[in-house]
């Protein structure tokens, strides 16, 4: 069962500039975190906290960043994935697999940017949208 929308992730070419947009340029006073390098995930992240959800800004980190290709195709940035909460990630994964969905990578949960287990579902099964599932 899908739970709440945890965050919407936006790939950006310049995370400091993107954070500034949310901090002050266009969105006055949003609560914006510091930039945190996540070498295990090949990205630097900033979280913008809203009342009902979060925006995750992603900038490529290192040579093998999983968002490098996305930014090549979308040089000014764009919505990269949406993250839904699930109670039990292994149960959710097995249910989706049984119904023919494709999980990216090894199919085993990884520890995501919030220190919780995540998996990514292939966009081809979700109308072109990369879906992250996070156990909460
Ligand atoms: Co995410």
pLDDT reported for residue 46 = 97
Domain ranges of the chain: 5-135
Enumerate residues 6+ apart whose C-beta is below 8 A from 131.
81, 82, 83, 84, 120, 121, 123
- Given the residues 56, 59, 85, 132, the one annotated as active site: 132
∠ CA 24-28-32, rounded to 5°: 65
For residue 9, the CA-to-ligand 1 centroid distance in Å is 6
Distance of alpha carbon 111 from alpha carbon 117, whole angstroms: 4
pLDDT reported for residue 28 = 79
∠ CA 19-3-44, rounded to 5°: 25
For residue 29, the CA-to-ligand 1 centroid distance in Å is 23
pLDDT reported for residue 112 = 85
- The dihedral of CA 71, 93, 37, 65: what is its sign? negative
For residue 57, the CA-to-ligand 1 centroid distance in Å is 9
Q: Nearest CA to 82 among 109, 58, 115, 110?
A: 58
For residue 120, the CA-to-ligand 1 centroid distance in Å is 9
Distance of alpha carbon 118 from alpha carbon 66, whole angstroms: 15
CATH topology of domain 5-135: 2,3-Dihydroxybiphenyl 1,2-Dioxygenase; domain 1 (3.10.180)
For the entire predicted model, the pTM comes to: 0.92
How do the pLDDT tens digits run along the chain, 136 residues long? 789 999 999 999 999 999 999 998 888 788 999 999 999 889 999 999 999 999 999 999 998 999 999 999 999 999 999 999 999 999 999 999 999 999 998 889 999 878 899 999 999 999 999 999 999 9
Distance of alpha carbon 87 from alpha carbon 89, whole angstroms: 6
132 catalytic? Reply is: yes
């Amino acid at each position: 069962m899908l739970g709440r929308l945890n965050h919407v992730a936006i790939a950006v070419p310049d995370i400091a500039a993107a954070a500034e947009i949310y901090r002050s340029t266009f969105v006055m006073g949003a609560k914006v975190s510091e930039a945190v390098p996540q070498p295990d995930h090949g990205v630097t992240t900033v979280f913008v906290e809203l009342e009902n959800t979060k925006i995750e800004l992603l900038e490529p980190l290192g040579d093998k960043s999983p968002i490098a290709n996305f930014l090549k195709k979308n040089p000014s940035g764009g919505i990269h994935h949406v993250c839904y909460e699930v109670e039990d990630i292994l149960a959710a994964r097995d249910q989706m697999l049984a119904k023919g969905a494709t999980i990216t990578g090894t199919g085993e949960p990884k520890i995501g940017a919030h220190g919780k287990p995540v998996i990514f579902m292939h966009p081809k099964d979700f109308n072109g949208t990369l879906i992250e599932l996070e156990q909460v």
